[in-house]
């Protein structure tokens, strides 16, 4: 795990620190949660480190990753009638402020391609 710890995942899931039988599983869920958050952000870990402050990572992104890891731990099978990005339902609240926005060149290229123009 890159920014959350096994101890944080255990605390989020209300698991005693000395209970170690599921540490490998919890670590897998923590890794998957972090990867999911990075996909939602449309950022790489390197980009996050370069462009976000430690407070941003320790705040909203950590909360989102812990919530997602806890959800994976408590719901070990598929969840019906819910899109994966909606689990947990309020994860967007924690992640959206840090999502990558398209840069000016991407917007210009999109607009030019969409309208079939060289320059607008």
Q: Token pair of 95, please?
A: 């992640």
pLDDT, residue 75, reads 83
Taking the C-alpha atoms of residue 100 and residue 15, their distance in angstroms, rounded to an integer, is 34
For the ranges 20-34, 65-79, 97-111, the lowest mean pLDDT is seen at: 97-111
CA distances from 40 to 44, 68, 116 (A): 10, 12, 30
- Please list, residue by residue across 90-118, b when 16 or more beta carbons sit within 10 angstroms of its beta carbon and e when fewer do: ebeebbeebeeeeeeeeeeeeeeeeeeee
Report whether 37 contacts 64 (CB < 8 A). yes
Give the start-to-end residue ranges of the domains of the chain: 6-115
Does residue 3 have a pLDDT over 90?
Answer: yes
Give the model's confidence band at 97: pLDDT under 50 very low, under 70 low, under 90 confident, else very high: confident
pLDDT tens column, 12-64: 999 999 999 999 999 999 999 999 999 988 899 999 999 988 998 998 899 99
């Amino acid at each position: 795990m890159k920014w959350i710890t096994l101890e944080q995942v255990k605390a989020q899931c209300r698991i005693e620190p000395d209970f170690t039988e599921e540490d490998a599983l919890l670590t897998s869920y923590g890794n998957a949660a972090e990867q999911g958050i990075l996909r939602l952000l449309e950022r790489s870990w390197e980009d996050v480190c370069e462009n976000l402050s430690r407070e941003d990572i320790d705040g909203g992104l950590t909360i989102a990753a812990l919530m997602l890891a806890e959800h994976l731990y408590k719901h070990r099978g598929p969840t019906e009638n819910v899109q994966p990005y909606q689990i947990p339902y309020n994860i967007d609240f924690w992640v959206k402020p840090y999502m990558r926005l398209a840069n000016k060149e991407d917007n210009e290229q999109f607009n030019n391609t969409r309208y079939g123009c060289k320059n607008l």
